[in-house]
Structure 1
């Protein structure tokens, strides 16, 4: 059976981990890496055995593209690649209506071009949404609380870095309990930037404005960096008419590694779906796994 040819779009924290995960997957291979022109020479020297290009059009054969880029760039990039008839997988992490509306827009493109898109394929909203669904299957009535952290939020860190006057940034998510969080944003200021202006801009950013946010100036952000993260999900609900069903799911992970691994498994699943746009919750779990159907069932059921 031919291996699935996957391109890595972007080579930051997630892109590097996606590259590693693909190399560890027996049924997949790296079709190439797509980066901005300014990174080409350096990466071509570092990875001489793999095609490194500045456009996916320069790769010979791509079945699926892993969009390892900031979430705000995903809608446009996914649409362009789906138009080429290439499947896409992203880890879009802006929850709620933003994700739903993007999936709806991409669905019409994917169906027209015979391609497949899977959006939000990280650990949250990706695999965490599957666990939330399992909780509701077991206890249809009740409340699920999702508590993130403590740990580095990649999406929030990217947004903080984009703030005018910020040289480097790190955004930590700290759980307060019952699904509430606060953000600790450590910033290294650029030049003569004013801290009060930077603080105001970060707190007004849609990524931060809904949560309690503390912006803290530091001399060296790199000394604080740690890609660890986690989640604690709790549900208390009702099964049938029986109350007090309590469930708990806890995760402690290295954020980009697990995000990338889920994306690689979603790339495999994308090859098994009908044309259209999906979120991970909609796809049969068995489609994410390599191997024979009956062997998987025998091992896991």
Structure 2
């Protein structure tokens, strides 16, 4: 099977993550990397065997491009690629009206040059708003609580580890938007122990009493030790007056750049079947 040849535009953290992912992909190929003229002429590590250029026209057989440049340069770079009739995927981080204007400009350019583009193909904008919408669709009446805890550092906590049935525990804290302290506790449990009992015992401990504390069960604490990736908690709580109490909880720890690269590769696979113009990223695109 002939692989779709994809160029990576920019080689910062996101560009490198995309290039590394393309090397391992069974459907996509790395056509090369485009860097500014002042950058080194060779690529790092296993990327060395791939072409590096100062302009996409110097690369052969490029069918699509991943725009991995800073947000303030993304529109100009994307327009130039679309003018060259190269389909693109981008994930520039804007909010509100700035995001709407950015997407509208790319839709106009992609439609004018008869080529497809996928916009907002990252974590946020991208997958995170889709998850929030899904939670609110499934529980139409209620409240959505959302917290970020970037770079959350975990430490061992005796208060949680001494709870009956807990083999070990790690905790982390961060300040919420209103300045209050919020706790995240990850516990490894003995066989047969119910998480609800442990959650109640930890919430009653003086160390955590009166403060927001989320307790999550993990299979092995060793998998979390040393990790300091982005953390997200998305909590949807139903407010229906009758029927069962409904709630959805997403707790995640991950590397933002790695996730964004995976999302961009998912988007570029869908480009060949899309009509011209810009398309907002969606899981079922």
TM-score greater than 0.5 by the shorter chain: yes
SS in 1 for 2:126: helix
SS in 2 for 1:30: strand
Distance 1:250 1:65 in 2: 32
Deviation per CA, 1:97-118, whole angstroms, max 9, x where unpaired? 2112111111111112121222
Query: Quick one: structure 1 residues 257 and 142, their matched pair in 2 at CA, closer, same or farther if it must change by over 3 Å?
Result: same
Deviation per CA, 1:238-296, whole angstroms, max 9, x where unpaired? 57975853211122111211111111111112222111112213x51xx5xxxxxxxxx
Residue of structure 1 equivalent to 2:247: 246
Residue of structure 1 equivalent to 2:138: 138
Which residues in structure 2 correspond to 1:85-124 (within 5 Å)?
85-124=85-124
SS in 1 for 2:237: strand
Query: Quick one: structure 1 residues 138 and 239, their matched pair in 2 at CA, closer, same or farther if it must change by over 3 Å?
Result: farther
Residue of structure 2 equivalent to 1:218: none
Distance 1:240 1:54 in 2: 62
Of residues 2-11 and 136-145 in structure 1, the stretch that sits farther from structure 2 once superposed is 136-145
Distance 2:17 2:45 in 1: 19
Provide structure 1 residue ranges, at least 5 long, that are not aligned to the other structure: 153-173, 182-225, 288-301
Residue of structure 2 equivalent to 1:279: 280
Residue of structure 2 equivalent to 1:38: 38
Deviation per CA, 1:115-156, whole angstroms, max 9, x where unpaired? 12222211222111221121122122333233222239xxxx
Residue of structure 1 equivalent to 2:235: 234
SS in 1 for 2:111: helix
Residue of structure 2 equivalent to 1:258: 259
Contact 1:44 1:52 in 2 (8 A): no
Deviation (angstroms), 1:58: 0.9
Aligned pair count reads: 218
Contact 1:236 1:245 in 2 (8 A): yes
SS in 2 for 1:271: helix
RMSD between aligned residues: 2.8
Residue of structure 2 equivalent to 1:291: none
Contact 1:40 1:54 in 2 (8 A): no
Deviation (angstroms), 1:9: 0.6
Residue of structure 2 equivalent to 1:56: 56
Please, what TM-score do these two structures have when normalized by structure 1? 0.65
Residue of structure 2 equivalent to 1:25: 25
Residue of structure 2 equivalent to 1:217: none
Contact 1:227 1:256 in 2 (8 A): no
Distance 1:260 1:45 in 2: 18
Please, what TM-score do these two structures have when normalized by structure 2? 0.68
Distance 2:145 2:134 in 1: 14
Query: Quick one: structure 1 residues 98 and 146, their matched pair in 2 at CA, closer, same or farther if it must change by over 3 Å?
Result: farther
Residue of structure 2 equivalent to 1:6: 6
Contact 1:230 1:252 in 2 (8 A): yes
Residue of structure 2 equivalent to 1:83: 83
SS in 2 for 1:85: coil
Distance 2:235 2:242 in 1: 20
Provide structure 2 residue ranges, at least 5 long, that are not aligned to the other structure: 153-173, 182-226
Residue of structure 1 equivalent to 2:210: none
SS in 1 for 2:61: coil
